[in-house]
Amino acid sequence: MMIKEADFNYKYDVFLSLRGEDTSCTFTGNLYHALRNKRIKTFFSHEIQNDDDNEQLQLPPSIIKAIHESRISIVVLSENYASSAHCLDELVNILECMTMKNQLVWPIFYKVDPFDVRRQRGRFGEAIGKLERDYSEMVPQWKEALFEVSNLVGWRYGTEYEYEIIQKIVESTIKSLPHYDVFLSFCGEDTRYSFTGFLYHALRREGFKIFMDDDGLEGGNQISQTLLQAIEKSRFSIVVLSENYGYSTWCLDELVKIMECKKVKNQLVWPIFYKIEQSDVRNQTKSYGKAMKAHEDRFGKESENVHKWRSALSEVALAKGDHIRENEYEHEFIKKIVERAIEAENHM
């Protein structure tokens, strides 16, 4: 059975595997900050990066979990990488995820020869020889992992400026990540060219990757696969609940999918009640009551879709969000939303 990306609950974009004493304060540390500056969620282990011995072979559960919850693993193969049983065990787990979950794995040969990694020569051979005395059962697995990772496409550092190779890695990472930071769900006729349009550009200026459907995307009665995938691949969704949102079956189908991702993937959902009352959404009164009545007349009171729409509206109205009223300046409100979005992302 083919495993779809949506079947996995990704928490991180990148997992960095490194030997701390070699590169944590130099190359890998700089790479980590370059990735973070591009809003790429990166796991950089501070627990075992400076391990000086191999007394405890077993990786902490948090490390194993982080590997499995990452889309990409970058393995910085430096001079002392193979002297750490922790690093080698990380590598085994990473390659398992590559096989089972199609995780991308990129080796970086940091001032080492890929052939030395592949054949365990030089410092890699010496390190494996020392570990063999205490971990004879694990060594064959580690050797196989080193051989396998050395045959993957990656980068070799040693002959160019550090910033140049880091820039290439960051660019490749951005191209490989299919997700958005924010999915904007809104009723086009109400707010496309006003509030939501301004919010979109304000978030973009801060470097957020936003999915906002264009005018030609909505068509027919069914939500497109493009939109469903965009919702699944977003970190969080902002739902702009306006006067006519409840009339759009398209918007309501979006909302059902958004609330499903909230439950299944723990996706953050942030409702904005745009010049309407939260209680009207929750209880389906006023314009939302009229909209639901119109849908019942069209599809029937027992329609499964209508039940789903009502449930999704009630659920989103209970989520923590914001309320913009008639007499508020929109630009001030948008500024607050952007600030909160930055804060939320930093804590995700």
Give the integer Cα–Cα distance in Å for 132 and 136.
5
The rounded Cα 310 to chain-centroid distance in angstroms is: 29
Phi and psi torsions of 322, nearest 5°: -135, 160
Describe the strand order of the beta sheet including 70-77 as a list of residue ranges: 42-44, 12-17, 70-77, 104-110, 155-157
Q: And the tokens for 113?
A: 């020869």
Active site residue 254: yes
Catalytic member of 79, 232, 254, 345: 254
Instruction: Give me the active site residues, please.
Output: 254
